[in-house]
Structures are given as C-alpha cells and as structure tokens.
C-alpha cells in the first residue's frame, strides 16, 4: 500500500532539508574515507569560501564554491585512493575520482550544477579546456588550490598542536608557491597571501569550530533551496551506492537491506510513513563503513581482534552523519542499533530485549539476511535454505525477533529475490 499524501506530509514536515545542509551531510559521510582525518572536504569548502571573499566574488559565487568545495571528493570511496591524493601534489591516478565525482553529482539534480567544477579539480590552470566558461574554470581551479593547501595544513597538524599553525602559516603556504601560475591561477595565490594573515583562517579549520563556521557561511549567503522527501530518498540511494561501491563484496548491500526492511515492515503492518523512514535508515545504515580501511572490508579470512575493534565503530559513525541530516526522527537511532541483538550480545550498546524497538529489529534482521544471501571474501553466496539454517540458530538463541523472523520465513522466496536482485 502506498502512503497517503497526509501521511507523507506528516513525514516531510520535520524533514525539509536545504541543499547546503544536505551537501554538508554528504561531505561528512564521504570524509570518513580519510579514516582519522575526517574533515578534509569540509575544510576545503571553507577555505574556498574564505578565498572567494578575498577575491571579491559576490554572494552567489561564494555560496557555490563553498558547496562545490565541500563536495569535491565525492568520487572517492576507497581509503587507498584517499591516501594517494594526500601524499602526492600531482598524482597520475587523480583523474578517476574527478570523473566519478562528476557522475555522482550529475545523477542528483539538486547537485548537478557543481559537477563540472568537480570534474576538473585536479587539472592544471593552463590545461583547463577552452570550452569551459571563465567562471567554471575558476571554480575548478580554486578547489584544486584549496585542496592542496589543506593537504599541506593537514600534514602539519598531524605533528603539531593546532595553534602552532598560526606561527607556521607562511611555511605551510610556501609549499604551494612553486606552483603559482602553473598548477593554479596566480590570482588565487595572491588572494591567499592576504587571507592567511587572519588568525581565524587557520583556527576555524579545527574540527571543533569547523561545522559552526560552515553553518554560518551557509546561512550568511541566504541561499535556501529545500529538498523534497522524494529527493532526500534519491540522495539516500545515491549515498548508498558510494558506500556499497567501496568493496565488490558489498555491491547493492545497503539498497537490498533497505528494500528487504521496507517489504518486511509492510508484512509486519507498520504505517507507511514509518516504512519510508526505515527504508532511508536501511539505505544509510552502513555509511560509517566508509571509514573502515579497504583492507579490512576485503580481507579474505577472519578478522583479528584489532580489525574487529576498528569495524565496531561503524554504527556510531553512521549515526553521526544521519543525525545532522535528520535531527527530528528515528532514522539515526535505528541505523546506530542495527548490530544490537535481543540477548544483549550485540554492539555498540549491548541493548537487551525491550531496549530494542520494533523497527530496529526489522532492520537488523534485514541486514543479517541480506549479508548471508551475498557472496563474501571468505565464502560463496548461500542458498536460501542455508541462510535460514543459520538464522534458525540465531532465533533459537534468542538473538533476533521471532515474530519478524517468522514473517521472513513465510515469505522467504519473495524476500530472497529482493535480497539478491542485481
């Protein structure tokens, strides 16, 4: 049954999201590929915005470059690629993530206007295609410049307290000087020479101040475009693709978990609006896995205790991202609890019985079911009866909800088809 318009408007009321905030959330999610340094995209956006001020750009252009700058690395989902981009000023493999980023942004209409700037954010100033208009060339190249400045800053604060950046600002900046006029527009270099004199330029890059600075910048440009519920849903699907693309073994995992949870919740009689929220939560439940190093996700054997410990933060990482996009509903909570078990043996909270609400029970069963239906680095895809054999045992041990599991078994063929659909 499709949700009625009344129910949908009930959902969407608490859920109008403006484009800038959506971009900030996507950036937070994607910045996880930096593992410990999870602020690169946001810092680049802010640096772009500050430089735009010093270049004398007007409001709409400043707003544009703040968002485009935040989103610039949306084509990176691999922690290995991220590392290469950080280690080398000009890496020959850099173009691939620009192309992927361009495609990613184009597939979501509210973000498509930023696509071309992202496509060319590793192209030398002199080599930018003549077919691009002047503004777009400037956007692309300012991102390149801010990106390289942030890499220099990030490597500095790796070994120094934050405030030391004030004393070493000229040194950090001097890393870019040999490339002025070559990789980057000389004009940007000059504007940056002035911008870096302000203490706030450096201080606000610090994690504690960063979100506030970005939120202020977003609202000061009074640019408000709201996304509809349908758009938020397609944004969720898009992010899920980036998460699932991280490893060949998790292809479509999030999308399939979302669809299994959506169907199961219908069988269980949840109201339509709650089902759509649960589907969104399913789409994004593993977004925190962007922070898990590639080697762990693709390891062809059992994980050791250190790797398991590293994996175990992903539900809370998912929560952090979802909370900022959906502060007023249960989406973030459900996602953060998808590895809880009724007998208290789950993580990260170790909730027991009634502490785990019904939609969370559905989501966690959908997650277990889909993962078992899917090939893993250490095993082949299981047949439906093999899947149920394993889940029967979990049910007998009191780990999963029996009523939901009974519904799943009664509809096993339909749900198996959804879980393995390509």
- State the residues that interact with Fe ion by CB under 5 A: 73, 147, 286, 367
What is the Cα gyration radius of the chain?
23
Q: Using CA atoms, how far apart are residues 243 and 397, in angstroms rounded to an integer?
A: 31
297 C-beta neighbours (distance < 10 Å), count: 19
Closer Cβ to Fe ion, 37 or 367, answer by number: 367
Q: Kindly state the smallest distance separating residue 228's Cβ from Fe ion, in Å.
A: 27
Q: Kindly state the smallest distance separating residue 338's Cβ from Fe ion, in Å.
A: 6
Q: Kindly state the smallest distance separating residue 169's Cβ from Fe ion, in Å.
A: 20
Annotated active-site residue 289? The verdict is: yes
268 C-beta neighbours (distance < 10 Å), count: 17
Nearest CA among 326, 318, 323 for reference residue 232: 326
- DSSP assignment of 147-208 equals HHHHHHHHHHHHHS-TTHHHHSHHHHHHTTGGGBTTTB-HHHHHHHHHHTTSHHHHHTTSHH
Q: Kindly state the smallest distance separating residue 188's Cβ from Fe ion, in Å.
A: 16
**Active-site position among 289, 319, 341, 399:** 289
Closer Cβ to Fe ion, 28 or 229, answer by number: 28
Closer Cβ to Fe ion, 73 or 317, answer by number: 73
Q: Kindly state the smallest distance separating residue 14's Cβ from Fe ion, in Å.
A: 26
φ, ψ at 381 (rounded to 5°): -65, 140
**Residue recorded with tokens 């990613």:** 104
Residue 18: in which H helix or E strand, if any?
strand 17-18
Closer Cβ to Fe ion, 370 or 395, answer by number: 370
Summary count for the chain: helices (H), strands (E):
24, 2
**Residue recorded with tokens 């100033």:** 125
SS3 206: coil
Q: Using CA atoms, how far apart are residues 371 and 422, in angstroms rounded to an integer?
A: 14
- Decide if 322 contacts 281 (C-beta within 8 A): yes
Closer Cβ to Fe ion, 31 or 204, answer by number: 31
Q: Which residues are catalytic?
A: 289
């Amino acid at each position: 049954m499709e949700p009625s318009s009344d129910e949908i408007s009930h959902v969407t009321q608490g859920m109008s999201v403006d484009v800038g905030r959506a971009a900030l959330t996507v950036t937070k999610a994607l910045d996880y590929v930096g593992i410990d340094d999870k602020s690169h995209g946001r810092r680049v956006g802010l640096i772009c915005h500050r430089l735009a001020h010093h270049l004398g750009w007007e409001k709409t252009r400043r707003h544009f470059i703040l968002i485009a700058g935040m989103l610039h690395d949306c084509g990176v989902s691999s922690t290995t690629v991220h590392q290469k981009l950080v280690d080398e000023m000009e890496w020959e493999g850099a173009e691939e993530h620009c192309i992927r980023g361009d495609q990613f942004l184009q597939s979501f209409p509210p973000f498509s206007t930023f696509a071309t700037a992202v496509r060319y954010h590793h192209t030398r100033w002199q080599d930018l295609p003549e077919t691009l208009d002047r503004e777009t060339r400037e956007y692309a190249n300012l991102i390149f410049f801010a990106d390289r400045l942030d890499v220099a800053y990030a490597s500095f604060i790796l070994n120094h307290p934050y405030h030391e950046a004030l004393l070493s600002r000229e040194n950090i900046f001097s890393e870019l000087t040999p490339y002025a006029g070559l990789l980057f527009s000389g004009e940007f270099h000059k504007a940056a020479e002035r911008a870096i004199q302000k203490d706030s330029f450096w201080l606000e890059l610090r994690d504690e101040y960063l979100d506030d600075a970005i939120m202020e910048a977003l609202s000061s440009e009074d640019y408000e475009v709201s996304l509809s519920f349908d758009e938020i849903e397609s944004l969720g699907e898009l992010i899920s693709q980036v998460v699932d693309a991280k490893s060949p073994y998790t292809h479509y995992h999030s999308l399939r978990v979302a669809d299994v949870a959506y169907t199961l919740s219908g069988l269980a009689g949840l109201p339509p609006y709650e089902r759509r929220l649960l589907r969104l939560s399913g789409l994004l439940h593993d977004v925190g896995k962007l922070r898990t190093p590639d080697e762990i996700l693709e390891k062809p054997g059992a994980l050791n205790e250190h790797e398991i410990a590293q994996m175990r933060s992903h539900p809370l990482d998912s929560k952090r991202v979802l909370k900022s996009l959906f502060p007023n509903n249960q989406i973030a909570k459900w996602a953060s609890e998808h590895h809880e078990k009724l007998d208290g043996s789950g993580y990260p909270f170790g909730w027991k019985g009634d502490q785990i609400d019904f939609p969370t029970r559905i989501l966690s069963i959908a997650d277990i079911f889909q993962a078992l239906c899917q090939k893993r680095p250490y095993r082949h895809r299981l047949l439906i009866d093999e899947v149920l054999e394993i889940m029967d045992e979990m049910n007998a041990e009191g780990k999963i909800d029996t009523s939901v599991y009974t519904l799943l078994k009664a509809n096993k063929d339909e749900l198996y088809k959804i879980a393995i659909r390509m």
